[in-house]
Amino acid sequence: MKRIEEKKRGEHPTLVTRGELFLIFLKAGLAFGGGLGILAVLEDELVDRRRAVTKEEFLTIYGIGRIVPSGTMTALAVAYGYRFGGLPGTVIALTALSLPVFVLTIALTIAYRYLRNSRLFDLLPVTIMPAALAPIVVAALKLGKDVFRPSRELLIACAAFALALFLRLNLQRTL
C-alpha cells in the first residue's frame, strides 16, 4: 500500500501512504483562504513536516500548476497524488481536496436560504471577511519570501500605483 519516493542526493526515502495522502489533501481542502490557504497547508505538510519534497521541488510543481489549463490546486492534487500513489493516488488526492468544498457549498446554500433576511447575515462583512484575510496574507508572505526579489521595475510600479491612488486617477478613463 505504500509508495516509496525515490532517493535523492543521500536523503532517506519518504513514505506517504494513500491514507496519509487523503488526510493531507482533506486538510488542505478544509483550509480557509482559497488557493493560498491550501498552498500553505500543502507546503507545511509536504515540505516542512514530512520532508516528502524539497522547497525547490514544491515551488517548481506549483509553477507548473499555474500554467497548465486547470485550477492550480487541482494540478497540485494530480501531481502529488500521482507521485505518491500513482493513478489511485491521483483520485484520492482530488477527492479529498474536493470533498470539503462540495459539502460546504451545499451547507452554505441551505444556510443562505434561511439566513438571507436575518440580521446575522449583516454581520458577515465585519466578522468572517476580515478573519479570512489573515491566513491569505501569511501564506502569501511565507511563499513569497523565497521567490520575491525587489527590483527597480517593482519599485517603479509601486510608486506609480501610490501616485495614481494619491492623485485619485481613474485609470479606466485614461486608458
Give the mean pLDDT of the chain.
83
- Cα gap 51→132, rounded to integer Å: 28
Residue-wise pLDDT tens digits, 127-136: 777 777 777 7
- Cα gap 161→36, rounded to integer Å: 24
- Helix, coil or strand: residue 16: strand
Residue 12: what pLDDT?
44
Residue 130: what pLDDT?
73
pTM passes above 0.85: no
Q: 13 or 88: which carries more pLDDT confidence? A: 88
Residue-wise pLDDT tens digits, 104-151: 999 989 988 888 888 888 787 777 777 777 777 777 777 777 666 777
Residue-wise pLDDT tens digits, 78-99: 999 999 999 999 999 999 999 9
CA-based angle 89:17:44, to the nearest 5? 90
- Cα gap 161→153, rounded to integer Å: 12
Residue-wise pLDDT tens digits, 148-175: 677 788 788 888 888 888 887 776 655 5
Residue 173: what pLDDT?
57
CB burial of residue 119 (10 Å; 0-12, 13-18, 19+): exposed
Q: Which residues pair with 3 in a beta bridge?
A: 16
Distance of alpha carbon 66 from the chain centroid: 11
Amino acid at 56: E
What the block records as the C-alpha cell of 142 is: 511565507
| Cβ(98)–Cβ(31) below 8 Å | no
